[in-house]
A and B are shown apart, each in its own frame.
Chain A
Amino acid sequence: MIKDFERFAPKTLKEALVLLAKYGDDCKVICGGQSLLILMRQGLVSPKYIVDIKGISELSYIKDGKDGVKIGATTTHRAIEKSPVIKKKYPVLAEMETRLASIQTRNWGTIGGNVCHGDPAGDPVPVLMALNATLTVAGAKGTRSMPVDKFCLDYFEVDLRDGELLTEITIPAPLPRTGTVYTKFNVIESDLATVSVAASVTLGAGDGVCQDVRIALGAVAPTAIRARKAEKVLKGKKITDALLKEAGEVAATETEPISDIYASEEYRLELVKVLVPRMTKEALARAKKA
């Protein structure tokens, strides 16, 4: 049973920040509530106050510009999935969304809520890492921005300090000759990931050398992580199958997976070794076509 709480429904970001500053640790932010309500029903979270930001329309937008795309925190998953500009310029984001939970959940749930939930098996964060996204949070003292990997601190814990709210996700425009892909391994298509992998490869002009690469993994550590050592294996080189295999093995050493009902620790390690080379190779193929 959900415990009683008092709910505030601010209509502007300013009002929300005042409420968050006032109620501090006693309050939780809800938007679509597709993650939080489940925790509340299980009694894992019982906030005294709820600041409901679903009605803050100024935070619901997809703005595309020369430098990249800006997505407001209360934008629904479904709006991202169906956005023509996202489908055209950041197809991996739309592809990720189609595999996130169900249509009903995507219609009401928001990208900001998912990111702030801090579930290491969540779909958006690895993709945002591969796309080199930046998050902007606002608080009583002003705003600050950070790369998405700095935002994820621990299991269900993100870098939101007293009274702060995630407001915007910024994704830089992809460099030429860049390909980005995402997949998750799971038993039922719309389930959370057993292991997820996002990879982005940028090739140099004409030489086919891997100029830049980002590999992000989900559900194999307390947060989604960048496999930076695996990236180093590939960066500055011409990617071969042997190098990809090595990158997969190195990536596995960067993880600390747990065993649960979906998979054992050992099985997750094997998945990393298989999926990292496979997805990086796919990203490479996309980069060649881009």
Chain B
Amino acid sequence: MKKELKLKVNGQPYELFVKPKTLLVEVLRDLVGLTGTKRGCSSSSCGACTVMLNGMSVKSCSVLALQANGAEVVTVEGLAKGNELSPLQRAFLDHGSYQCGFCTPGMLMSTTALLTENPKPTKLEIKEGIDGNICRCTGYNSIVRAVTAVVKGEYKEAK
């Protein structure tokens, strides 16, 4: 039996009907149609499905969608303001912080969550911040460099 699920995704309200077993990642990709959030391992290991749920980073492959009822979800599509990418997104581009790009949405969400909580993380704290995200290409150093550049104030917030 499907149940009603009301939630906001990137500020936009949605009213959906989902089965109790439906996962948040399935709602985002298949019902809302935002495929930036990736489904990698489906077992809480890789972090490619990371989104923000009421301001906290979670792995959307391991959250029952109905548990997000009434919540605010931010996906990678919600980071840009209009056509202006977020400071982290621009820094990732400039530092080549991706190869295949599959981990990038999750990396961006984890690092966005990190900087929201702790705007001045040390290099170690940045590494801890992406501890739940796997990049198999592997571009961890360039990701850490990009976040460091944002921390140093090299990228301003879009107006």
Contacts and interface: CB of A to CB of B under 8 A. Distances in A.
Interface stretch (A12-20, A31-39, A201-209): A31-39
Contact of B131 (A34, A54, A78, A190): A190
B43 interface: yes
Q: Identify the interface centre among A6, A78, A105: most chain B CB within 10 Å of its CB.
A: A105
Contacts of A108: 53, 56, 58-59, 62-63
Q: Identify the interface centre among B43, B56, B110: most chain A CB within 10 Å of its CB.
A: B56
A50 interface: yes
A81 B124 CA distance: 17
Contacts of B62: 33-34, 37-38, 105, 108
Contacts of B105: none
Interface in A1-45: 2-7, 9, 30, 33-34, 37-38, 40-41
Contacts of B151: none
Contacts of A6: 1, 20
A41 B20 contact: no
A37 to B, nearest CB: 5
A249 interface: no
Interface string B52-76: 0100111100111011000000000
Contact of A34 (B44, B47, B113): B44
B21 A2 contact: yes
Contacts of B63: 33, 108
Interface stretch (A58-66, A96-104, A133-141): A96-104
Interface string A144-170: 000000000000000000000000000
Interface in B27-56: 42-44, 47, 50, 53, 56
Contacts of B58: 104, 107-108
Q: Identify the interface centre among A6, A9, A102: most chain B CB within 10 Å of its CB.
A: A102
A102 B47 contact: yes
A103 B132 contact: yes
B19 interface: yes
A154 to B, nearest CB: 24
B44 to A, nearest CB: 6
A103 B110 CA distance: 9
A104 B64 contact: no
A98 to B, nearest CB: 8
A52 interface: yes
A224 to B, nearest CB: 21
Interface string A41-76: 100000000101011000000000000000000000
A104 B67 contact: no
Contacts of B64: 7, 30, 33, 37, 52
Q: Identify the interface centre among B3, B67, B129: most chain A CB within 10 Å of its CB.
A: B67
Contacts of B53: 107-108
A101 B67 CA distance: 21
B47 A41 contact: no
A33 B53 CA distance: 15
A189 interface: yes
Nearest to A102: B132
B56 A78 contact: yes
> Which 4 A-B residue pairings sit nearest by Cβ, starting from the closest?
A102-B132, A7-B20, A107-B56, A2-B21
Interface of A: 2-7, 9, 30, 33-34, 37-38, 40-41, 50, 52, 54-55, 78, 98, 101-105, 107-108, 189-190
Given A40-B21, A104-B44, 12 more contacts: A4-B21, A7-B3, A7-B64, A33-B64, A37-B64, A52-B66, A101-B44, A103-B110, A104-B57, A108-B56, A108-B59, A108-B63
27 contacts: A3-B21, A4-B20, A7-B3, A30-B64, A33-B62, A37-B23, A37-B64, A38-B43, A38-B62, A50-B20, A52-B66, A52-B67, A55-B67, A98-B128, A102-B47, A102-B133, A103-B57, A103-B110, A103-B113, A103-B129, A104-B47, A104-B132, A107-B53, A107-B57, A108-B53, A108-B58, A108-B59
